[in-house]
Amino acid sequence: NAGVTQTPKFRVLKTGQSMTLLCAQDMNHEYMYWYRQDPGMGLRLIHYSVGEGTTAKGEVPDGYNVSRLKKQNFLLGLESAAPSQTSVYFCASSYGTSGGQETQYFGPGTRLLVL
Amino acid sequence: AQSVTQLGSHVSVSEGALVLLRCNYSSSVPPYLFWYVQYPNQGLQLLLKYTSAATLVKGINGFEAEFKKSETSFHLTKPSAHMSDAAEYFCAVSDQRSHSGGGADGLTFGKGTHLIIQP
């Protein structure tokens, strides 16, 4: 099993450009998450999905959109990138809720630089 | 709202010495607590988690943590540090309420502690 994979690994954007980050998991997990990691800030939840066709906002959703058309994929979109979105983005997945005690499995991350 | 505080953004210990990484949480309902480790340029990997069974939890690589409700703490320890333990460590909290539709799903992370091992 590949686990959780993310594409691309690194990207440089200019302000105002758009892009989509792809997350894929082969563990048949129901829940998927997008986090961003900034120095000294830990990880913060952007959006999450509790199943195919469903998405919800997390702590820092502004400037991002997501889609979950297939159970194994979770896409994160930036419609008009801003320098404040320079970050490392992590995708995670878990089987589904058991009251919040389930382990989340993380991808290797995507480094995004917005100039 | 739940929150996590990790005391010390950087902790330095000698190889073979005790490792102690501190984590305090805030939650109005019984929490689930996690420690994750992040090696350079990699994703996060679960070390251990507390899910209301035993208060002393053993994880991978010789790490363990003890849940102390009276102190709202979940500190991570390892008796003898190894050079390979050098990494970033994150404490995280989740609770049942967040998974019943009452709020944001996912984990709430602390800001992380960078563990440095001196030879």
Mean pLDDT of A97-115: 88
| Residues forming beta bridges with residue B77, ordered by sequence position | B20, B64
Inspect the interface and report whether the beta carbons of A42 and B109 lie closer than 8 Å.
Answer: yes
Average pLDDT over residues A57-76: 96
Residue B98 has pLDDT above 80, yes or no: no
Closest Cα in chain B, distance from residue A42 (Å): 4
CB contact under 8 A, B44 and A41: no
For residue B42, the one-letter residue type is: Q
Interchain CB distance below 8 Å, B98 and A57:
no
Q: Is B113 exposed, middle or buried (0-12, 13-18, 19+ CB in 10 A)?
A: buried
**For chain A, percent of residues with pLDDT exceeding 70:** 97
Q: Which of A111, A89, A109, A107 is nearest to A29 (CA)?
A: A107
A35: chain B residues, CB-CB within 8 Å: 106, 109
Token look-up 């990790």 returns B6
Quick one: pLDDT at residue A97? 62
Q: Given a cut of 50, is residue A51 above it in pLDDT? A: yes
> For testing the chain B interface, which of A9, A21, A43 should be mutated: the one with the most B CBs within 10 Å?
A43
CA B42, B44, B47: angle at the middle one, nearest 5?
Answer: 130
Q: Which residues of B touch A59 (CB under 8 A)?
A: 104
Q: A86 by DSSP, 3-state: which? A: coil
Cross-chain Cβ contact A56/B45 below 8 Å: no
The tokens of B6 are what?
A: 């990790």
Distance between CA atoms of residues A9 and B18, nearest Å: 36
8 A C-beta contact, residue A81 and residue A32: no
* A34, amino acid identity: W
Higher pLDDT, B43 or B104: B43
* Residue A101 confidence (pLDDT) above 50: yes
What does the pLDDT read at residue A98?
Answer: 63
Distance CA A31, CA A48 (A): 7
Whether B97 shows a pLDDT value over 70: the answer reads: no
Q: How confident is the model at residue B81, as a pLDDT?
A: 98
**Is residue B74 less than 8 Å (CB to CB) from chain A?**
no
- Provide the strand spans (E) within A1-115: 4-7, 10-13, 19-25, 31-38, 42-51, 54-57, 65-67, 73-78, 87-94, 105-106, 110-114
Query: What are the φ/ψ torsions at residue B60 (nearest 5 degrees)?
Result: -80, 165
pLDDT band at B101 (very low <50, low <70, confident <90, very high): very low
Could you tell me if residue A95 is left (phi over 0), alpha (psi between -120 and 50 degrees) or otherwise beta? alpha
Beta bridge partners of B118: B14
pLDDT of res. A96 = 77
Dihedrals φ, ψ of A100, to 5°? 90, 5
pLDDT tens digits, residue range B18-32?
A: 999 999 999 877 789
B96 in contact with chain A, both atoms CB, cutoff 8 A: yes
Residue B114 clears pLDDT 50, i.e. is over it: yes
Q: Which of B43, B52, B99 sits opposite A109 (nearest CB)?
A: B43
Residue of chain B with shortest Cα separation from A31? B106
Chain B residue with Cα closest to A108: B43
Residue B100, pLDDT score: 44
**B104 is written with which tokens?**
């944001």
CB contact under 8 A, A101 and B51: yes
Does residue A1 register a pLDDT over 80?
no
Q: Distance of CA B46 to CAs A13, A40, A48, Å?
A: 32, 20, 19
